[in-house]
């Protein structure tokens, strides 16, 4: 891929399955042999055979996806973009309506809580992005349980404590943070906003919280590190590559760039089937476009599969010493889901664990992080005599958090801090960086209020006795309802206004 | 009230609050002084001042209500009905629609279960009757809990038992019955059908079950006893009068007429506020008819209050020996609601108890009969060493029963038999006696089936181990839902037909 | 603010942010410097710059709010109201519709329960008032849980007790009351009715119950005390001021005026974020009125914040001796939420506690008063050997009460009496004083009925064994539903009328 | 029924109740005397008196039903089909619409899970077939509980295990299977597809799973065995005939044909009342077609009853030795529902049990198979010291399974494999054999994914500790809701787009 420069016309001739060239960011690639291996299916590539695929490629691939996956000899050279025919992007009528809604977004001052961002995002985001961000595993029970679990924990607030000054700052892996939360890693930020994860980096700097950079960011790792303000700390979330050498280089590069903690994802040996995401693909295409021969064939599995084939399902405990040998960064396992594995992480001398089920996107019916937290804290105390929160071995949870009260419950149970993911995505997909800042401002407001109402001047005062978590482990599904009985039951009614009463014949 | 015979014209002149005469069943009564005491309010009587009130009076009063409540000198004589102006009954449009629906009732062969009768009754009954039958105390939580409680009991059926012949007959207080149920006492049968409780008497004879005659029947006691077939057994439900002499006479008369068991109601020192019933009164009247001066005054409390003022709230344990002294009939307390009172009934030497909350019509949040049953059986075994079912001290339950499986659960827990009430009312309100018979036929079908499926050739084989009632005492109310979260959650959708998919823009 | 009298025209010239005068109740105030400190935001004041702000000011400020918050030199004098231009109040179309509905309110005799008032209030009240009264913290889960908790308590009624005469009167802090309830403190009564809290004072006199006067009443404290009938007792709810001297004067004044108990609010170091209230502000204003520059700025936080900045978040246990030193009134802590704090209140020698979460308006996920009650009674017995109800140390609860049965459950668990708040607000917002009286009449009816049905002639007979509260501490959130499965489930249907059946094609 | 050959005209003359001949598959039968015994009622046969009844007969009768039930002398001979008048099948408009929808079925690649087949089947199947397949006992609570029970079991996945290769094959009764499931027996396959159960046989061969042939298959037993691929294993589900000789012959024939396991159904001494199925009959007929005299008569009980009268309700434990004496096939009891019976099966030396409630079609409120599984495994360990999964005594469950995660939960609890029924019916009713294969492909995908996410390379690694089943036995029915309270509660709302806000007046 030395100096060769093609014309658009030359490239355009390679528009068949047999000889399929595409242009991405002004470079020309021969993907003919790669077609059957493309995780997203051959079809989507063939649509751009001989053409500029950048717009389609960019939001759903990490910047270096193509160079990593194609052998050097298939990276043919560059192209004079002036000679390339513009790919006309056809915007569907409904996407246009969504676009137009941006102008109708309410003032940020009317956005009162984290739920609001999601409600608005659903109205303005394009379907593909919404499906990728909002989808979860199987029947999407776990994603909802993550939130529901917090509602089984109730407070036991204390009164008559001087709460004139309250302080909800803390330290995560020794790094000061103004709130006991961090921005957890989520992939493909450009699906929601052209600046992608940069929105998070910039807002994090302003509000003094830590961003965890995802392996599958839409922005490149260095771009996100470069954007950090002086003194701003960042973590890195790591998907481990089947080719360990790639991983070694990435980790050591990260350490050199000043990353303060390495969160190794352990709950995703294979990325989950997310049917809302998969279905979106079919919804978006008219049935007559479908290949007759393709009737029974398996089609794309959505964005998640498309980007994740490099992840190593063979990653195991035996790899831990190797990680210790290649970096001095604190090592944290992200995705621990039972006390046995948390205990082993402790015994292996790691810096901590994130109790998480990957936002409900991986194993359906995995318990929520906050539920596992109660178990882990109890068992590690029993088995190793340690108390939480603990500086030497920190526990984090993520999933389902929408309120400062959720965070305070986790802290009362022993967590050091809590990761928040999707709400930030919805925030920048609607209002960009301003949205992310607004979340942090809302949380500041909520923390101030709730620390006072709890009777806790500092996070150290948020202790185990402040919560009643006795029902946390209850996974109830009611006996199915007796339809005939309840259809018969005539609901009671209130007293009514006179007109209303007159108007309605009761039949 | 000797021989005096009035003309309609004479009566018609007494049409004021000061001198208010009414005609009931051809007799003339001066109710002027009684007006303020009428439990249903003065207004409804004044509507018939000087007129024939029989049609209004009949369905909601026991036959002798008027003669019992008026002193003899106010019972003026009779009237020549030929001279009485017919009271034109104005049928409201909506009642007419209801009436016409009778012709649209499906064939009885299409009525598959007890729920069906209620669904149909709601469509054809007039509102007043529906309100009286279906209403219950306060927020009507208890009436629904009565049914729900059965759904917290699950079966542990046995297999590989010879169930070629199954037999679900038993004895209640020594009386043989073809099914382990009885028709429990419910008031005001003529609200639903002109033959009132006679529908029950006749069907009970045909299907070999026992009817419990209510004190507040629309038909007279003797009418119902006279209608019994040779050998047919009946029980009597008793509301105890403040004037014990009236009660003594009634009880001894009943014993003479062959009644086989006396069920003394103990859960109704005062009849419940039933708001659906009360509200129906207001719904039925146009607002402009209302007396301006009546704005703040308390108006009628519905049918229940209107018929029950004679009941003695002073009835107490000390009265039990007196009952024993006036009758040899087995005495059963109807409306026992905790083990302590069941134990005392046993110690007092009574024949049994009905564990009941009066169909949810009395104390809101009284537990269901079947829940109390589990407690009573356990405690009486613990305290007195007796086992259930027990011939010497029999336990019955009522409330919420709709299926043979409900009955079998109660029997497994120790009940001798189960009372069923409302379903019979709905059955005769739609199909008369045929409806009542159909219920009994449905139950026979269900018992045959379910005895086989339980692996129980006889009721003796329906034992405690056949049910798992470990959740029976659970009274759960979930944490209120998080509306913002659930409004945000986009429900999953199935694969769709192609047209459906095309038609729907996803916005 | 001596004798200076302005003309309307003079005042009208001070209509800028730089020089902003307003008129309230005929007095002139220079609020220019106060603008940035106004809890409700500067904007709302600027709307009245140079004008008469009385109508806007009155319902949402305690009468002396302005004089307390402005230094004397800014209280400029009075104005000749004849020279002041009338502020034209523009009534929005929808508010007009609400106003017109007052004429359609049903007769009070049709209002059967406390729920009815709320249903009607929602139809007739203006939005701002409705939002302020009905709103609660965060996701409004706690406000609903307060009611739901009562439904996890079931009765174990006793039978065959002489309940001819039943008596539900009792004493609160030694004060006789005809019902075991009191009217608890709620702010801003004039939002709902021009007479504000006076409606409560007058009805309380008539029905023999105690009113707790709120610090944040719309009527002045003295006005409410003056309105008391001879012998009528009142309590005072106290928000403690950062300036303790103000509090001392207020308390000592109250004692002099005959207040019988001082309820110090301890659950509100800062008043809660109530989003329904906050959102109402935005809903009410058209988007084009919004200041472009105000896009990101924080706007008003609703009525709650606007009135509460004086409250001292530094109030603590160390202040208790001081309270004892300034008054002989019984001291009660209002807003205790766990046994540890109740125990300390007992040990400090206070007269009692109100177990309350402030009607769900403060800390979301604080447990309901009635749930905490069970815990407190058990622990104080265990730790200090005392039984409840207890004359020396009385426990009250409030929140979620709608029925006499709710009250009776709390009494069975050990409460002396129960506070009721919002239902009274809805009652006077619809029917004024008559509405408040009607509530008390309904409760009298319900107490009479339910005492009889419980088998309890007096409140002393309402004992712990009469309730089953074994599920009270259950905070269940079900496993999220499996949408695909339940969408597939075809509900059973009843037998149908023939026409209905014909009409419907089943597709 | 020797050589006699009739003409269509001859047969057509026997078209009365008195002399009623029908043609089935070219044979002529005199069913006059059989009419009153027909489980499906006389009416449906009379409709075909003198005519060809094959089309009606075929899908809902096993092939030999008629020859088994008619004495030889009533099997009159054959008919020259060329002389028989074609029975015109009238297709109702709505059935036509359903038929036309087949063309609109989405591509199989869009079918993502087992639920999808059911959703589509409901749209395209004719009502009778849908009613028969989807219906269940009484109020259809058990059928839904079967699915719900799985949702009370949550995973405790393990991390950092090498799951590069995962293997979910196993052995059932010594037979290798590529998935830990089998296709369980379901009746009347031709209702859904002309090839009936053959769809299952063929797909099972392709995907390496075992099919259990039902006694009540629409295809004949031999047809299904003949269709097996070389080396394909099949089981047989057995309904035991009152005439044991018939059963003996059938069993020995099956053994000879190579059947690998005999599953004796023990939960169906009588087939259940399935009201949706029963009601479908009435729905399908216009009311005016109904016989006036038939008003009270009992009509058809749906397809289930029509096909099951031969089943012996006298089958009992004493029959077990006889079964052992007539066959060497492994004997498994299908329909065991408590540990006591599982223990006896073990003690009797049988090969295993299927814990099942017959898909919720028999005893309403029988517990789900997976719930009973936990009990059985615990008790058999306690009583006999054996562990599960166990090769000598295998436990299977069926009912409610829709996901590989459901299967993995059962395996973690000790099951050897899981039976799946209805989903396969819906699959072939929509897409024929392709649908069945698609299910197996989906399950393969789900198993691969979930084994990895569980951290289990093989099924042996799916152990008891991997599930939290502590709530499995919870049968909760909530306290009925307080309608007046919840109708009053005004739901919270999100921030809204500006237009939306303007458009909506809040009244």
B338–C450 CB contact, under 8 Å: no
> Token match 């402040």: residue?
A466
Do residues C373 and C449 both lie within one domain?
A: yes
Q: Can you read off the two tokens belonging to residue B82? A: 């030929």
Q: Is residue A278 part of a domain?
A: no
Q: Is residue D40 part of a domain?
A: yes
Give the domain-ending residue among D49, D83, D117: D83
For testing contact with chain B, the best of D139, D269, D323, D403 (most B CBs within 10 A)? D269
Among A398-412, C51-65, C429-443, the minimum mean pLDDT is found in: C51-65
Q: List the catalytic residue out of D52, D182, D358, D426.
A: D358
Considering chain C, what is the average pLDDT of its residues? 90
Compare CB distances from D152 to C97, C127, C479 and report the shortest one's residue.
C479
Has residue B285 got a pLDDT over 60? no
Q: Is residue A79 part of a domain?
A: yes
What's the pLDDT tens digit per position in B203-262?
999 999 999 999 999 999 999 999 999 999 999 999 999 999 999 999 999 999 999 999
**Closest listed residue to residue A346, CA positions, set A385, A399, A316:** A385
What's the pLDDT tens digit per position in C370-428?
999 999 999 999 999 999 999 999 999 999 999 999 999 999 999 999 999 999 999 99
User: Exposure string (b/e) for C379-408, b if CB count within 10 Å is 16 or more?
Assistant: ebeeeeeeebbeeebbbbbbbbbbbbbbbb
> Token match 């458009």: residue?
D503
CATH of the domain at A25: 3.10.120.10
Inter-chain CB pairs, B–C, below 8 Å = 180
Inter-chain CB pairs, A–D, below 8 Å = 182
Instruction: Name the residue with higher pLDDT: B299 or A273.
Output: A273
Measure the CA–CA gap between C142 and C360, rounded to whole angstroms: 5
B313–C478 CB contact, under 8 Å: no
Do residues A70 and A137 both lie within one domain?
A: no
Give the domain-ending residue among C24, C48, C83: C83
In Å, what is the CA distance from C108 to each residue of B53, B94, C325, C428, C439? 29, 26, 47, 12, 10
> Residue A389, preceding bond cis, omega within 30 degrees?
yes
Neighbours of A390 (CB within 10 A): 15
pLDDT at D304: 61
Q: Is residue B29 part of a domain?
A: yes
**Closest listed residue to residue D303, CA positions, set D184, D428, D128:** D128
CATH of the domain at B460: 3.20.20.70
Q: Is residue D292 part of a domain?
A: no
Q: Is residue B288 part of a domain?
A: no
A279–D110 CB contact, under 8 Å: yes
Is the ipTM above a cut-off of 0.85?
A: yes
In Å, what is the CA distance from A156 to each residue of A150, A400, B329? 14, 22, 58
B115–A484 CB contact, under 8 Å: yes
Average pLDDT over residues A340-349: 98
Measured in whole angstroms, how far is the alpha carbon of residue D470 from the centre of its chain? Answer: 29
What secondary structure letter does DSSP report for D481? P
Where does residue C86 rank: exposed (0-12), middle (13-18), buried (19+ CB within 10 A)? exposed
pLDDT at C296: 34
Do residues C65 and C163 both lie within one domain?
A: no
CB C416 within 8 A of CB C172: yes
Q: Which residues of chain D have pLDDT under 50?
A: 1, 283-300
Task: Measure the CA dihedral C304/C308/C314/C315, to 10°.
Answer: -90
C479–A110 CB contact, under 8 Å: no
Q: List the catalytic residue out of B267, B341, B398, B406.
A: B267
The dihedral region occupied by B481, where left means phi > 0, alpha psi between -120 and 50, and beta the remainder, is beta
Q: Is residue B375 part of a domain?
A: yes
Compare CB distances from A482 to B151, B152, B505 and report the shortest one's residue.
B151
A479–D141 CB contact, under 8 Å: yes
**Closest listed residue to residue D365, CA positions, set D197, D195, D148, D137:** D137
CA distance B282 to chain C (A): 7
Active-site annotation holds for B38: no
Q: B354 forms bridges with which residues in the sheet?
A: B334, B396
Among B290-294, B416-420, C215-219, D446-450, the minimum mean pLDDT is found in: B290-294
Chain C positions in Cβ-Cβ contact with residue D144 (cut-off 8 Å): 485, 489
SS3 annotation, B260-328: CCEEEECCCCCCCCCHHHHHHHHHHCCHHHCCHHHCCCCCCCHHHHHCCCCECCCCCHHHHHHHHHHCC
**Closest listed residue to residue B146, CA positions, set B470, B416, B401:** B401
The continuous run of DSSP H or E covering A408 comes out as helix A404-413
pLDDT at A92: 78
- Percent of chain A past pLDDT 70, that is, above it, reads 92
Chain D positions in Cβ-Cβ contact with residue C118 (cut-off 8 Å): 488
- Which chains would you list as touching C if contact means 3+ CB atom pairs under 8 Å? A, B, D
C494–B120 CB contact, under 8 Å: yes
Where does residue D223 rank: exposed (0-12), middle (13-18), buried (19+ CB within 10 A)? middle
Considering chain A, what is the average pLDDT of its residues? 90
The dihedral region occupied by A498, where left means phi > 0, alpha psi between -120 and 50, and beta the remainder, is alpha
pLDDT at B279: 85
Q: Can you read off the two tokens belonging to residue A332? A: 């944290």
Has residue A364 got a pLDDT over 60? yes
What's the pLDDT tens digit per position in C346-386?
999 999 999 999 999 999 999 999 999 999 999 999 999 99
Among B7-11, B90-94, D121-125, the minimum mean pLDDT is found in: B90-94
Do residues A132 and A39 both lie within one domain?
A: no
For testing contact with chain D, the best of A120, A137, A313 (most D CBs within 10 A)? A313
Give the domain-ending residue among D51, D83, D115: D83
Average pLDDT over residues B345-353: 98
SS3 annotation, A63-109: CCHHHHHCCHHHEEEEECHHHCCCCCCCCCHHHHHHHHHHHHCCCHH
**Closest listed residue to residue A111, CA positions, set D495, B485, B263:** D495
Do residues D135 and D72 both lie within one domain?
A: no
- pLDDT band at residue C502 using 50, 70 and 90 as cut-offs: low
What's the pLDDT tens digit per position in B111-160?
999 999 999 999 999 888 999 999 999 999 999 999 999 999 999 999 99
Measured in whole angstroms, how far is the alpha carbon of residue A147 from the centre of its chain? Answer: 15
- pLDDT band at residue C332 using 50, 70 and 90 as cut-offs: very high
Q: List the catalytic residue out of B14, B116, B358, B406.
A: B358
Rounded to the nearest 5 percent, the helix, strand and coil shares of chain A are: 45, 15, 40
For B69, phi then psi, to 5°, come to -95, -15
Measure the CA–CA gap between B427 and B437, rounded to whole angstroms: 9
pLDDT at B277: 87
Neighbours of C18 (CB within 10 A): 8
pLDDT at C304: 61
Q: How many residues does chain C have?
A: 507
pLDDT at D127: 87
SS3 annotation, D198-254: HHHHHHHHHHCCEEEECCCCCCCHHHHHHCCCCCCCEEEEECCECCHHHHHHHHHHH
**Closest listed residue to residue D342, CA positions, set D322, D367, D362, D365:** D367
Do residues A27 and A148 both lie within one domain?
A: no
Compare CB distances from D283 to C151, C489, C501 and report the shortest one's residue.
C501
Active-site annotation holds for A57: no
For C237, phi then psi, to 5°, come to -95, 135
Do residues A62 and A136 both lie within one domain?
A: no
The continuous run of DSSP H or E covering A131 comes out as helix A127-134
**Long-range contacts, C485-489 (Cβ 8 Å, 24+):** C485/A139, C485/D115, C485/D144, C485/D147, C485/D402, C487/B494, C487/D119, C488/B494, C488/D115, C488/D118, C488/D119, C488/D122, C489/D140, C489/D144
For testing contact with chain D, the best of B157, B159, B409 (most D CBs within 10 A)? B159
Average pLDDT over residues B60-84: 84
Has residue C284 got a pLDDT over 50? no
Chain A positions in Cβ-Cβ contact with residue B482 (cut-off 8 Å): 147, 151
Q: Is residue A258 part of a domain?
A: yes
Inter-chain CB pairs, C–D, below 8 Å = 83
Do residues A159 and A246 both lie within one domain?
A: yes
What's the pLDDT tens digit per position in D48-75?
899 998 888 877 776 777 887 788 888 8
Do residues B49 and B178 both lie within one domain?
A: no
Do residues A261 and A171 both lie within one domain?
A: yes
CA distance A372 to chain D (A): 9
Among A376-390, C198-212, C486-500, the minimum mean pLDDT is found in: C486-500
Q: For residue B189, what are the domain limits?
A: 128-271+308-488
What secondary structure letter does DSSP report for C275? H
Give the pTM. 0.92
CB D237 within 8 A of CB D265: yes
Active-site annotation holds for A239: yes
> Residue C158, preceding bond cis, omega within 30 degrees?
no
Alpha helices (H) in D455-481, listed in sequence order: none
What's the pLDDT tens digit per position in C8-33?
999 999 999 899 999 998 999 999 98
Q: Which residues contact B231 (CB under 8 A, 6 or more apart)?
A: none
For A500, phi then psi, to 5°, come to -55, -45
Alpha helices (H) in B366-482, listed in sequence order: 369-384, 404-413, 422-454
Compare CB distances from D104 to B155, B445, B497 and report the shortest one's residue.
B497
Neighbours of D69 (CB within 10 A): 17
Do residues A141 and A248 both lie within one domain?
A: yes
B403–D138 CB contact, under 8 Å: yes
pLDDT at C45: 87
Do residues C72 and C175 both lie within one domain?
A: no
Domain count, chain D: 2
**Closest listed residue to residue D233, CA positions, set D306, D183, D285:** D183
């Amino acid at each position: 891929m030395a100096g060769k420069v093609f014309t658009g016309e030359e490239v355009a001739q390679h528009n068949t399955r047999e000889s399929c060239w595409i242009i991405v960011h002004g470079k020309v690639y021969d993907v003919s042999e790669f077609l059957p291996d493309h995780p997203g299916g051959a079809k989507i590539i063939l649509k751009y055979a001989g053409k500029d695929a950048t717009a389609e490629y960019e939001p759903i691939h990490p910047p270096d996806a193509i160079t990593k996956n194609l052998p050097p000899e298939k990276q043919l050279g560059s192209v004079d973009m002036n000679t390339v025919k513009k790919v006309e992007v056809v915007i569907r009528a409904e996407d246009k309506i969504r676009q137009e809604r941006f102008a109708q977004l309410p003032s940020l001052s009317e956005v009162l809580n984290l739920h609001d961002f999601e409600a608005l995002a659903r109205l303005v985001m394009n379907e593909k992005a919404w499906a990728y961000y909002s989808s979860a595993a199987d029947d999407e029970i776990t994603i909802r349980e993550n939130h529901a679990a917090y509602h089984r924990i109730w407070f036991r607030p204390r009164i008559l404590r001087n709460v004139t000054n309250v302080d909800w700052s803390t330290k995560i892996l020794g790094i000061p943070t103004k709130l006991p939360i961090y921005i957890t890693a989520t992939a493909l930020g450009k699906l929601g906003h052209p600046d992608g994860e940069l929105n998070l980096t910039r807002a994090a700097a302003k509000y003094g919280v830590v961003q965890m950079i995802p392996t599958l960011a839409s922005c490149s790792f260095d771009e996100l590190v470069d954007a950090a303000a002086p003194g701003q700390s960042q973590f890195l979330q790591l998907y481990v590559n089947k080719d360990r050498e790639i991983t070694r280089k990435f980790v050591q590069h990260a350490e050199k760039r000043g990353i303060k903690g390495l969160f190794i994802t352990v709950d995703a040996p294979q990325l989950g089937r997310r049917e809302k995401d998969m279905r979106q693909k079919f919804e978006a295409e008219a049935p007559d476009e479908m290949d007759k021969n393709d009737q029974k064939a398996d089609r794309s599995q959505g964005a998640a599969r498309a980007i994740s084939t490099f992840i190593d399902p063979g990653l195991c405990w035996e790899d831990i010493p190797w990680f210790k040998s290649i970096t001095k960064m604190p090592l944290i396992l992200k995705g621990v889901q039972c006390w046995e594995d948390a205990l082993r992480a402790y015994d292996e001398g790691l810096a901590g664990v994130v109790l998480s089920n990957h936002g409900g996107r991986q194993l359906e019916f995995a318990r929520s992080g906050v539920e596992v937290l109660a178990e882990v804290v109890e068992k590690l105390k029993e088995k190793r005599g340690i108390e939480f929160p603990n500086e030497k071995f920190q526990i984090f949870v993520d999933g389902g958090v929408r309120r400062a009260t959720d965070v305070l419950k986790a802290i009362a149970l022993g967590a050091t801090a809590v990761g928040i993911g999707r709400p930030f995505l919805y925030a920048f997909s609607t209002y960009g960086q301003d949205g992310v800042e607004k979340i942090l401002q809302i949380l500041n407001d909520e923390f101030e209020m709730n620390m006072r109402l709890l009777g806790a001047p500092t996070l150290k005062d948020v202790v185990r006795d402040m919560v009643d978590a006795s029902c946390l482990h209850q996974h109830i599904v009611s006996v199915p309802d007796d339809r005939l009985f309840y259809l018969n039951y005539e609901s009671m009614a209130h007293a009514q206004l006179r007109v209303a009463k007159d108007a309605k014949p009761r039949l």
